[in-house]
Chains A and B, each alone.
Chain A
Amino acid sequence: MAYEDASLAQGNVVTVYRESLRLRLERFPWWFLVILLVTALTALIITTKSTYTEAFSFIRAGLSVTIMTTISAYFIALTLGMITGLGRISRNVVFKNLATFYVEVVRGIPMLVLIFFIALVLVPAVTSSLNTLGERLSAAGLGGLGAFFSSVTNKGVPMQLRAVIALSVTYGAFSAEIFRAGIQSIHKGQMEAARSQGMTYGQAMRYVILPQAIRNVLPALGNDFISMLKDSSLVSVLAVRDITQVAKLYAGQTFRYPEAYLTLAVLYLSMTMLLSLGVKVLEKRFQSS
Chain B
Amino acid sequence: MSEEENIIVIRDVSKWFGKVQALRKVNLSIRRGSVVVIIGPSGSGKSTLLRCINHMEVEDEGEILIDGQQLPRSEKLINAIRADIGMVFQHFYLYPHLTVLENITLAQRIVRRRSKEEAERIAREQLNRVGIGEKADSFPAQLSGGQQQRVAIARALAMNPKIMLFDEPTSALDPEMIKEVLDVMLDLAKAGITMVVVTHEMGFARAAADEVVFMDEGQIIEQGEPAMVFDHPRHERTRFFLSQILHK
Which of B85, B93, B152 has a CB less than 8 Å from the CB of A192? Answer: B93
Shortest beta-carbon distance from A212 to chain B in Å: 5
Which residue on chain B has the smallest CB distance to residue A187?
A: B93
Which of B56, B79, B85, B156 has a CB less than 8 Å from the CB of A200? Answer: B79
Contacts between the two chains (Cβ within 8 Å), count: 62
Q: How many angstroms between the C-alpha atoms of A203 and B110 in the bound complex? A: 8
Q: How many angstroms between the C-alpha atoms of A12 and B71 in the bound complex? A: 72
Inter-chain contact B93/A189, CB cutoff 8 Å: yes
Q: Assess whether A195 is interfacial by the CB under 8 Å rule.
A: yes
Inter-chain contact B110/A212, CB cutoff 8 Å: no
Residues from chain A with Cβ under 8 Å of B80 in the complex: 198
Q: Assess whether B89 is interfacial by the CB under 8 Å rule.
A: yes
Contact with A along B81-120 (1 / 0, CB 8 A): 1111111010101111100000000110011000000000
Inter-chain contact A212/B96, CB cutoff 8 Å: yes
Residues from chain B with Cβ under 8 Å of A187 in the complex: 93
Which of A197, A201, A211 has a CB less than 8 Å from the CB of B107? Answer: A197
Q: How many angstroms between the C-alpha atoms of A208 and B96 in the bound complex? A: 9
Q: How many angstroms between the C-alpha atoms of A212 and B93 in the bound complex? A: 13
Contact with B along A188-213 (1 / 0, CB 8 A): 01101111111111010001100110
Which of A190, A197, A215 has a CB less than 8 Å from the CB of B159? Answer: A197
Residues from chain B with Cβ under 8 Å of A207 in the complex: 106, 110
Inter-chain contact B89/A193, CB cutoff 8 Å: yes
Residues from chain A with Cβ under 8 Å of B194 in the complex: none
Which of B79, B91, B155 has a CB less than 8 Å from the CB of A198? Answer: B79
Residues from chain B with Cβ under 8 Å of A212 in the complex: 95-97
Residues from chain A with Cβ under 8 Å of B94 in the complex: 193
Shortest beta-carbon distance from A176 to chain B in Å: 22
- Knowing A189-B93, A207-B106 are in contact, say whether A196-B111 is a contact too (CB < 8 A): no
Inter-chain contact B97/A197, CB cutoff 8 Å: no
Using a Cβ–Cβ cut-off of 8 Å, how many residues does chain A contribute to the interface with B? 19
Shortest beta-carbon distance from B144 to chain A in Å: 19
Residues from chain A with Cβ under 8 Å of B79 in the complex: 198-200
Which of A201, A203, A208 has a CB less than 8 Å from the CB of B75? Answer: A201
Interface-centre pick from B54, B91, B97 (highest chain A CB count, 10 A): B97
Inter-chain contact B93/A197, CB cutoff 8 Å: no
Q: How many angstroms between the C-alpha atoms of A197 and B84 in the bound complex? A: 8
Q: How many angstroms between the C-alpha atoms of A196 and B111 in the bound complex? A: 11
Residues from chain B with Cβ under 8 Å of A199 in the complex: 79, 107, 110-111
Q: Which of chain B's residues 171-210 have a Cβ closer than 8 Å to chain A?
A: none
Q: How many angstroms between the C-alpha atoms of A211 and B102 in the bound complex? A: 14
Shortest beta-carbon distance from B14 to chain A in Å: 22
Q: How many angstroms between the C-alpha atoms of A163 and B122 in the bound complex? A: 53
Contact with B along A239-256 (1 / 0, CB 8 A): 000000000000000000
Contact with B along A166-203 (1 / 0, CB 8 A): 00000000000000000000010110111111111101
Name 20 interchain pairs, CB-CB below 8 A, sorted by A.
A190-B95, A193-B87, A193-B89, A193-B152, A196-B54, A196-B56, A196-B86, A197-B87, A197-B155, A198-B82, A198-B83, A198-B111, A199-B111, A200-B76, A200-B79, A203-B110, A211-B97, A212-B95, A212-B96, A215-B97
Q: Which 6 A-B pairs have the closest CB atoms?
A: A198-B83, A197-B107, A193-B93, A196-B87, A189-B93, A198-B111
